[in-house]
């Protein structure tokens, strides 16, 4: 397994457009996380999955954000009607279930909304 | 709700000195895990060290050790004999149990190692 992979690595979009990001986790991992990170800040939790079930979505997240993990494998994060404030690095991570298991991160997708 | 606090936005340390990065946390869970990650300027998140809430000994991984003080709810990272390559952002993170076992992160500390 080559680790967590994210696609695309970079995305530039015009304000108001929809964008979709993909994350392929480590295949044995049942947990998958999405985070947003802006420059100089820590990863901000967005949502996470146990297999195909979405366990929690951040209350700070607007309805323009949606995530799926249809077959418990890869996941997509969609942002509708993008705004300039959505510009950030979007990180995906995966892990086993369990308090003592670390998360492994992908390289992230850098979104720029112009 | 769980919370991680890192109060040092930035630190400058001379090469070869030891450095302590502070982390305090808040949780109502009895069982939880604490993690430290390193993020160099290249952007990848690198897992460094883990401490479980029921672990009796402080975790160590090479030059990294975790000063875990459960009663004070602190989990400070100690880097011994710092190297230039240690310059990076460092994040403390926590994972709870039961219904709130997502991993949350602090705001981070930017560490600069001076030659």
**Res A99: pLDDT:** 81
Give Cα separations from B24 to A40, A74, B2, B12, B16 (angstroms): 19, 34, 11, 20, 26
Query: Above 90 in pLDDT, residue A2?
Result: no
Instruction: Name residue, tokens 């607007």.
Output: A62
Name the percent of chain A lying above pLDDT 90: 89
Specify the pairing of strand A65-68 against strand B64-69: unpaired
**Res A96: pLDDT:** 92
**Res A20: pLDDT:** 98
B47 touches chain A (CB under 8 A): yes
Q: Which residues of B touch A100 (CB under 8 A)?
A: 33, 50, 52
Nearest CB to A107: which of B4, B43, B107? Answer: B43
Query: Above 80 in pLDDT, residue A1?
Result: no
Contact A105 B95 (CB under 8 A): no
Instruction: Name residue, tokens 């076992």.
Output: B101
Average pLDDT over residues B46-67: 95
Give Cα separations from B109 to A92, A100, B19, B105, B113 (angstroms): 21, 23, 12, 12, 13
Q: What are the tens digits of pLDDT across the range A38-89?
A: 999 999 999 999 999 999 999 878 899 999 999 889 999 999 999 999 999 9
Nearest CB to B33: which of A45, A55, A99? Answer: A99
CB atoms within 10 A of CB B19: 20
Query: Above 60 in pLDDT, residue B60?
Result: yes
| CA pair distance B102, A114, nearest whole angstrom | 32
Query: Above 80 in pLDDT, residue B47?
Result: yes
Contact A103 B47 (CB under 8 A): yes
| CA pair distance A99, B102, nearest whole angstrom | 9
Nearest CB to B31: which of A56, A99, A101? Answer: A99
For chains A and B, what is the number of CB pairs under 8 angstroms?
58
| CA pair distance A111, B11, nearest whole angstrom | 29
**Res B11: pLDDT:** 96
């Amino acid at each position: 397994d080559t680790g967590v992979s994210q696609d695309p690595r970079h995305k530039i979009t015009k304000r108001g457009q929809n964008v979709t990001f993909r994350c392929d986790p480590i295949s044995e991992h049942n947990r998958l996380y999405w985070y947003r990170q802006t420059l100089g800040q820590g990863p901000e939790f967005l949502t996470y999955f146990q297999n195909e079930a979405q366990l929690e979505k951040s209350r700070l997240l607007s309805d323009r954000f949606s995530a799926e993990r249809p077959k418990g494998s890869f996941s997509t994060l969609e942002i509708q009607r993008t705004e300039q404030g959505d510009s950030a690095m979007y990180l995906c991570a995966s892990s086993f279930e369990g308090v003592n298991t670390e998360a492994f991160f992908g390289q992230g997708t850098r979104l720029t909304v112009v | 709700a769980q919370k991680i606090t890192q109060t040092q936005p930035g630190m400058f340390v001379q090469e070869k000195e030891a450095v302590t990065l502070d982390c305090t946390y808040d949780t109502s869970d009895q069982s939880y895990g604490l993690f430290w990650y390193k993020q160099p300027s290249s952007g990848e998140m690198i897992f460094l060290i883990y401490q479980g809430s029921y672990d009796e000994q402080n975790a160590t991984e090479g030059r990294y050790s975790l000063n875990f003080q459960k009663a004070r709810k602190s989990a400070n990272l100690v880097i011994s004999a710092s190297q230039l390559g240690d310059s990076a952002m460092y994040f403390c993170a926590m994972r709870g149990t039961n219904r709130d076992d997502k991993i949350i992160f602090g705001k981070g500390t930017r560490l600069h190692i001076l030659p």
